């Protein structure tokens, strides 16, 4: 058994131990499901109405879990019939529902340890002694609808961490503590970047500082894609039902679309940009000489995500992607994907994410559309592109989109967390005659449907900015930060000189502010350092005025001592950091 599989088995076994401990301490509790997850496990419970369960109960549950583990109980697997299973779990309504939903031919198994019996496929460890009694910790509770259905009962989900070694648990807890400090929602409030209104879930209100960074990020990507041979387009936010029906979204994605009506016609706010790109392609006769056609769009999309799944600016309803659609021939797929991979690697390098890039290759799923030969051709082209771009990848069997294979790019942040951001997908279906019927005239003077490559480097700009805020703990690279320099006079007698310096910086394209209010210098510097996290604080007084210079205090995270520059030297220094997209201030 692989290490990850073994650890997942330990975690799932520990979930059963937790469920047993909960039932010992809170008799009458109903238990639902308890799977292993990336860092531990969870279990969903319905507590008796007279029980006020809270995280304050965690120490008692953990103590009982350790007592159970110390009992060295075997996990005993038993196969049962459907009728036997229904009798065994007759007092557990959630288990009964699961059993009743199982196909008649399904093999049903139970696992018992000590006095706890659960309906479970397994596998489990042989004995509770294989669970490290110091390697787990109950983490938090959350509400969870039974089977994810908001019309069903709300259960109490108990999350727990579980690791093979106590030191692994300690390291993870340290990471979580640091992650809490870096939480983009917390920093967004502290730095006055944005706010979220509970009356308008999933929509972001960007404040001046946050919007400055957002625009800088978008302008950066716009420059990169234009340099890489793309043409920027923009398509309507609201498009008719007829278009969404042709594209297939009305039948497959309608529940996530915001729908409206006008003049007895149905419209939808676009959840994605793809049909709009093909509408542009279809406005005139196209030739093979026009391909590849690379259409980039920073299109604002809206998706009706359940409010319970929303998370700060990481998971929203309204967002903008650095989206693009490449219309090309079969023979151009490999070159275009390889070209995209090079662009993505270069962009990620500017953010410091190039060292641990994870690439996943998702192949044909069971419910695919299109013939096997087409899929084989598309997968071969993706593999060749990765080789050209010198990208190693891991295969995700049967995880491709129903219309074609895809590559997914996952970056690793400063805390070791993984974020899937970039993607490129090969699509033979949307441009086909059965869908939006995009056509070009080939060298053979015959009509052909192009291949459509859907691709994004950053993905959602909102989500990527949230990742950056947490990765850099708010101390963004100079080129991206909303305030690149702050000019602070040592006293009001030097306000005029401070303003002169600020004007020169602004003229040089450096985002700067002069702090000329009556507060004392120390308070100003504290505010600029702690709230704004400004890379360069330029302190000016008599000496600086006489020499036309500035004394620069570097952001505390840089570890640099303060230094005096002439004004021209500092402008050249700062411009170099900005223009080269330096990660080091």
Per-residue pLDDT tens digits for 63-94: 999 999 999 999 999 999 999 999 999 999 99
- Distance (Å, rounded) from C-alpha 231 to C-alpha 545? 48
- Distance (Å, rounded) from C-alpha 268 to C-alpha 319? 16
| 195 appears as a binding residue in the annotation | no
Q: Is 134 left (phi over 0), alpha (psi -120 to 50) or beta?
A: alpha
Closest CA to 357 of 395, 321, 393, 383: 393
Question: Is 300 part of the annotated catalytic residue set?
Answer: no
pLDDT tens-digit readout, 201-247: 999 999 999 999 999 999 999 999 999 999 999 999 999 999 999 98
Question: Is 325 part of the annotated catalytic residue set?
Answer: yes
Phi, psi (degrees; rounded to nearest 5) at 407: -110, 140
- With pLDDT > 90 as the criterion, what percentage of the chain qualifies? 85
**CB atoms inside a 10 Å sphere around CB 187:** 19
Residue 506 contacts residue 512 (beta carbons within 8 Å): yes
Q: Does the pLDDT at position 164 exceed 50?
A: yes
| 274 appears as a binding residue in the annotation | yes
Q: Does the pLDDT at position 59 exceed 60?
A: yes
pLDDT tens-digit readout, 22-57: 999 999 999 999 999 999 999 999 999 999 999 999
Closest CA to 452 of 510, 521, 401: 401
- With pLDDT > 70 as the criterion, what percentage of the chain qualifies? 99
Q: Which of 16, 24, 157, 406 is catalytic?
A: 406
pLDDT tens-digit readout, 307-337: 888 999 999 999 999 999 999 998 999 899 9
Answer whether 0.75 is exceeded by the pTM.
Answer: yes
In the numeric block, which tokens belong to residue 525?
């510097």
Question: Is 63 part of the annotated catalytic residue set?
Answer: no
At 407 the pLDDT is 94
| 325 appears as a binding residue in the annotation | yes
In the numeric block, which tokens belong to residue 195?
């706010």
In the numeric block, which tokens belong to residue 378?
């598309």
Q: Which of 14, 120, 162, 274 is catalytic?
A: 274
Least confident of 31-35, 106-110, 248-252, 489-493: 248-252
Q: Which of 73, 157, 454, 524 is catalytic?
A: 454
Q: What three-state secondary structure class fits 257?
A: coil
Closest CA to 502 of 492, 491, 489: 489
Burial 270-280 (b: 16+ CB within 10 A, else e): bbbbbbbbbbb
- Distance (Å, rounded) from C-alpha 488 to C-alpha 502? 10
Question: Is 321 part of the annotated catalytic residue set?
Answer: yes
Tell me what the mean pLDDT of segment 531-560 comes to. 93
Least confident of 164-173, 249-258, 470-479: 249-258
Grade residue 401 by pLDDT with cuts at 50, 70 and 90. confident
DSSP state of 107: P
- Distance (Å, rounded) from C-alpha 274 to C-alpha 495? 53
Give the position of tokens 């947490």: 470
Q: Which residue did the predictor score with more confidence, 250 or 570?
A: 570
Grade residue 1 by pLDDT with cuts at 50, 70 and 90. very low
Q: What three-state secondary structure class fits 578?
A: helix
At 28 the pLDDT is 96
Question: Is 124 part of the annotated catalytic residue set?
Answer: no
At 106 the pLDDT is 84
Give the position of tokens 């938090």: 140
- What's the farthest any 2 CA atoms get from each other in the chain? 93
Q: Which of 92, 321, 332, 484 is catalytic?
A: 321
Q: Could you tell me how many helices (H) and strands (E) the chain has, helices first? A: 17, 29
DSSP state of 263: T
Rg of the chain over all Cα atoms, to the nearest angstrom: 29
Tell me what the mean pLDDT of segment 155-182 comes to. 96
At 21 the pLDDT is 98
Tell me what the mean pLDDT of segment 131-145 comes to. 96
Q: Does the pLDDT at position 132 exceed 60?
A: yes
At 148 the pLDDT is 86
Q: Does the pLDDT at position 402 exceed 80?
A: no
Q: Does the pLDDT at position 400 exceed 90?
A: no
Residue 528 contacts residue 488 (beta carbons within 8 Å): yes
Q: Identify the burial level of 507 via C-beta atoms within 10 angstroms of its C-beta, where 0-12 means exposed, 13-18 middle and 19 or more buried.
A: exposed
pLDDT tens-digit readout, 270-308: 999 999 999 999 999 999 999 999 999 999 999 999 888
Q: Does the pLDDT at position 383 exceed 50?
A: yes
At 269 the pLDDT is 96
- Distance (Å, rounded) from C-alpha 306 to C-alpha 351? 31
Least confident of 190-194, 323-327, 368-372, 443-447: 368-372
| Average confidence score pLDDT of the chain | 94
In the numeric block, which tokens belong to residue 112?
């018992």
Question: Is 303 part of the annotated catalytic residue set?
Answer: yes
Q: Is 122 left (phi over 0), alpha (psi -120 to 50) or beta?
A: left
N-term to C-term CA, the chain: 47
At 3 the pLDDT is 53
Instruction: From residue 192, give the alpha-carbon distance in Å to each of 103, 322, 465, 482, 533.
Output: 54, 25, 14, 11, 12
In the numeric block, which tokens belong to residue 530?
């702690």
Question: Is 264 part of the annotated catalytic residue set?
Answer: no
Q: Does the pLDDT at position 455 exceed 60?
A: yes
Q: Which of 118, 323, 413, 427 is catalytic?
A: 323
At 385 the pLDDT is 85
Q: Does the pLDDT at position 180 exceed 90?
A: yes
Q: Which of 224, 303, 533, 555 is catalytic?
A: 303
In the numeric block, which tokens belong to residue 312?
């700060």
């Amino acid at each position: 058994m692989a290490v990850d599989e073994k650890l997942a088995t330990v975690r799932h076994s520990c979930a059963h131990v937790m469920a047993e401990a909960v039932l010992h301490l809170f008799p009458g509790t109903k238990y639902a499901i308890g799977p292993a997850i990336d860092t531990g496990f969870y279990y969903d419970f319905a507590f008796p109405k007279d029980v006020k369960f809270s995280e304050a109960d965690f120490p008692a549950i953990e103590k009982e879990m350790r007592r159970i583990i110390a009992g060295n109980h075997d996990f005993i697997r038993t196969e049962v019939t459907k009728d036997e299973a229904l009798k065994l779990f007759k007092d557990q309504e959630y288990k009964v529902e699961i059993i009743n939903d199982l196909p008649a031919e399904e093999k049903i198994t139970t696992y018992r340890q000590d006095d706890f019996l659960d309906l479970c496929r397994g596998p489990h460890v042989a004995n509770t002694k294989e669970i490290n009694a110091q390697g787990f910790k109950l983490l938090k509770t959350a509400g969870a609808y039974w089977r994810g259905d908001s019309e069903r009962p709300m259960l109490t989900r108990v999350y727990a961490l579980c690791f093979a070694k106590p030191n692994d648990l300690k390291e993870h807890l340290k990471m979580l503590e640091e992650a809490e400090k870096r939480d983009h929602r917390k920093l967004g409030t502290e730095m006055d970047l944005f706010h979220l209104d509970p009356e308008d879930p999933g929509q972001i209100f960007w404040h001046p500082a946050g919007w400055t960074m957002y625009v800088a990020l978008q302008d950066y990507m716009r420059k990169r894609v234009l340099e890489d041979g793309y043409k920027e387009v923009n398509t309507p936010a609201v498009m008719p039902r007829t278009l969404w029906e042709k594209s297939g979204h009305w039948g497959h994605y309608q529940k996530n679309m915001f729908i409206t009506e006008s003049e007895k016609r149905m419209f939808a706010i676009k959840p994605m940009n793809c049909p709009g790109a093909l509408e542009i392609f279809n406005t005139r006769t196209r030739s093979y000489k026009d391909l590849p056609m690379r259409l980039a769009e920073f299109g604002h999309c809206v998706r009706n995500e359940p409010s319970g799944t929303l998370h700060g600016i990481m998971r929203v309803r309204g967002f903008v992607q650095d989206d693009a659609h490449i219309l090309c021939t079969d023979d151009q797929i490999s070159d275009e994907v390889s070209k995209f991979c090079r662009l993505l690697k270069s962009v990620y390098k500017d953010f410091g994410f190039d060292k641990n890039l994870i690439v996943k290759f998702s192949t044909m799923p069971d419910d695919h559309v299109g013939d096997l030969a087409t899929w084989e051709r598309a997968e071969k082209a993706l593999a060749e592109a990765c080789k050209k771009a010198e990208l190693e990848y891991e295969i995700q069997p049967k995880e491709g989109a129903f219309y074609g294979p895809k590559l997914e790019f996952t970056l690793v942040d400063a805390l070791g967390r993984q974020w899937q951001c970039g993607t490129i997908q090969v699509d033979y279906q949307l441009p086909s005659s059965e869908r939006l019927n995009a056509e070009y005239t080939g060298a053979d003077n015959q009509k052909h449907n192009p291949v459509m490559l859907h691709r994004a480097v950053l993905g959602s700009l909102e989500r990527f900015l949230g990742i950056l805020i947490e990765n850099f703990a708010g101390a963004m690279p100079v080129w991206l930060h909303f305030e690149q320099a702050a000019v602070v006079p040592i006293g009001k007698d030097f306000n005029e000189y401070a303003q002169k310096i600020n004007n020169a910086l602004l003229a040089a394209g450096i985002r700067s502010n002069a702090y000329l209010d009556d507060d004392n210098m120390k308070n100003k510097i504290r505010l600029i350092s702690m709230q704004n996290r400004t890379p360069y604080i330029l302190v000016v007084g008599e000496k600086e005025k006489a020499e036309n210079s500035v004394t620069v205090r570097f952001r505390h995270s840089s570890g640099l001592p303060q230094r005096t520059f002439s004004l021209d030297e500092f402008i050249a220094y700062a411009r170099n950091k900005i223009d080269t997209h330096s990660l080091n201030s």
